[in-house]
Amino acid sequence: MIIAQISDLHIAGPGKKTYGIAPMAENLGRTVDHVNGLRPRPDLVIVTGDIAMNGRQEEVELAVDLLNALQMPCYIVPGNHDDRETLWSVCSGRYCPERHDEFISYVIDDFPVRLLGLDSTVPGQPGGEICPRRAAWLDARLGEEPEKPTVLFMHHPPVKCGVLETDVDGFTGAERLGEIIGKYRNIEAVLCGHIHLPASVRWQGTVVSTAPSIGMELLLDLTMQLESAFYLADPGYQLHYWSPQNNLVTHTGYVQINEGPYPFADSPGGT
């Protein structure tokens, strides 16, 4: 089983660049074509939030028009730049199969690894949250299949990563979420976006992993002194490979032109 993860699309609308700089719609089209061309082809794609730049319907509709070209199922959870109701109105059914109360949270149980999409957004706020209602829903769903390998995916990482977007924006209910996750030994990973960088950290007996953006690479400043900024970059994505040895292996890839591949065979010492 192969899960392709893309994140932080920040689509600004037809004919527009995000912040007037980043060609995110073009990048999404390139990413979709690239994912379709992967061999073996991923079984599904998850999009971990920030579909739109400003939460507008025209932005979501443009993103969906581009995602429609994917040749495998695709599932979306909202990010802090998304408007939950707008996202649901455009994406319910194919991309957002269910919702719990007002939250876009759901279960995908058609694969060897079970996936739970979590809505971690707070309207009008940049940080994340798992409130008591979302926590109760998650605990109930995890209790249904306590032995089956499971992956959670949501927008906000619930642990500080040394990045302004997590450390300053915050995550309300991280301890509540951590207590639930710590109860279950079958959670292989918590897959997130938000920080526009690939990162991983051990947390509550599992791994929290974040995916890069599809073209807006965050300035990493571990001093936490500089204002948040981004570079234009090649679109990034992650592949999460459930191996025959029952391990979840994560690879980070980029949509770029590479020369090669060249064999190591004639190279002294191999790799």
Q: What is the pLDDT of residues 176-211, one digit of tens each?
A: 999 999 999 999 999 999 999 999 999 999 999 999
CA atoms 24, 25, 26, 28: torsion sign = positive
Strand partners, 199: 210
Tell me the C-alpha to C-alpha distance, in Å, between residue 121 and each of 50, 77, 84, 92, 129: 10, 9, 8, 17, 6
Strands 236-242 and 248-254, bridge-based pairing: antiparallel
Mean pLDDT of the chain: 95
| pLDDT at site 271 | 57
pLDDT at 7 over 60: yes
pLDDT, one tens digit per residue, over 235-257 is: 999 999 999 999 999 999 999 97
CB 228 within 8 A of CB 164: yes
Query: Residue 262's pLDDT band (boundaries 50, 70, 90)?
Result: confident
pLDDT at 261 over 90: no
Q: What is the largest CA-CA distance in the chain?
A: 61
- State percent of the chain over pLDDT 70: 97
